[in-house]
Every structure is written in C-alpha cells, then in structure tokens.
Amino acid sequence: MKFFIDTANLAQIKEANDLGILDGVTTNPSLMAKEGIKGNDAILNHYKTICEMVDGDISAEVLSVTFDEMVAEGKILAAIHPNIVVKVPMIKDGIKAIKWFTDNGIKTNCTLVFSAGQAILAAKAGATYLSPFIGRLDDTGYDGVELIAQIANIFTIQGFQTEILAASIRNPLHIIKCAEAGADVCTCPLDSILGLLKHPLTDIGLAKFLEDAKKM
C-alpha cells in the first residue's frame, strides 16, 4: 500500500518525506486555504514547490465544476510538473473531464467518492485514483472502511485498474483497516502516520535496553 500525506503544509510534507516512506501528496481547496495560499500564481507555485520536494504523485484539485472549465484548469495544473494528478470532483461533468484527461494522458484523482456506484463510474472513465472519504462516512454513521472493502472486491472481480485511495483518514486504525480492506493508497494527516509508530511496550522495552546497555 502506498502512503500519501494529506496536507498542503510544507513542514509536515518535509517531515513525512524525511521518514522515507512517502509516495505522494494530496491536497484540496480546504487544505490550501488553511495554509493561506491565495491567488492563481501562489496556488500554482505551491504545487510546484511540493512537486520539487516529493518524488511521487501530487494531487492538485480543479476549482471549477463544468467540463470545459475543468479541462482548461486541469491542463494548466498538469503542465506544472509530470507528477501532477488532476483532482476532479465526482459529478457528471467531472466524469466527462476524467475521461478526457485519461484519453489525453493526464493522471486523475476522482474525489468526494461516497458509494460503490460512484467508484464504478470513476473507474469506467479511467481515473488513475479514486478517493472514498472514510472519516466523513463514519461521521454519518456509515462504515467508511466497509466501502473500501466493497470497492476493492468489485475492482478485483471486474479487473478495474483504478487505484483505491482511501482519504479522510482520521487516525492510525483507519490506516490499518484500509490496508486490510484492500486500499491501494492511504492519504493521511501527519499525526495519523506518526501514530502508527506508537506502542507503550516499545517505549518501555527501549528504556530497559538503554538502561541495561550501560552495564555492558
């Protein structure tokens, strides 16, 4: 399973990248706004900086919702760097745009996926990735991880090549459960990635080893 970090914060991207386990980055308009990135030039520059920091797929989201506008915007985003993946919302024009990008050799990430039916459409359109939002489904009382398992099962049966990118990850258990359920990628906040490191018995064991090492 690939690990992406889900943030536009450069310090957090660097920290995750320095671990040596990072395969890519996802962003969205909310994450970009949180970093105070405003204006077209600043947005494009920020994506360029991220592409120069991380050797992997970098999702950059279109801000329009019509086919023509999404294609125009996606072309500009894709021109920033070969690793840019154009992130497109799961709407009717979005599916059309994904098909256009696929036919024109531009990688896509279909975002805001909340059902297996939406996943099938994105896969049929040839999306490189599709992003089911696990945490937001959990928030509504549905099991987000079950959706990952359902989509993974369908894709195995049907031979769809689209990669399942589990998004809206909120904690380390989400990552483990998504790995079990067949996610190809987990995009996670830094805290969730670092949370995987933690176990009290590791800390106790290391303290004891270090103490005993003084007697060696």
Q: Which residue has the tokens 């990248």?
A: 17
Specify the stretch interacting with ligand G3P by CB under 6 A; choose among 36-44, 116-124, 164-172, 206-214.
164-172
Mark 167-206 with x for binding to ligand G3P (rule: CB under 6 A) and - for no binding: xx-x----------------x-------------------
Is residue 86 within 8 A of residue 101, CB to CB? The reply is: yes
Q: Which amino acid is at 21?
A: I
| Residue 87 known to be catalytic | yes
Q: Using the rule CB under 6 A, is 28 a contact of ligand G3P?
A: yes
Alpha carbon separation from 67 to 30, 62, 101, 108, 165 (Å, rounded): 22, 11, 11, 14, 23
3 counts as binding ligand G3P under rule CB under 6 A = no
Between residue 130 and residue 149, which ones bind ligand G3P under the rule CB under 6 A? 133, 135-136
Contact residue for ligand G3P among 5, 6, 85, 137 (CB under 6 A): 6
The one catalytic residue in 2, 48, 75, 87 is 87
Q: Which residues neighbour 34 within 8 Å (Cβ) at sequence distance 6 or greater? A: 8, 9
Give the pair of three-digit tokens for residue 178.
């998504």
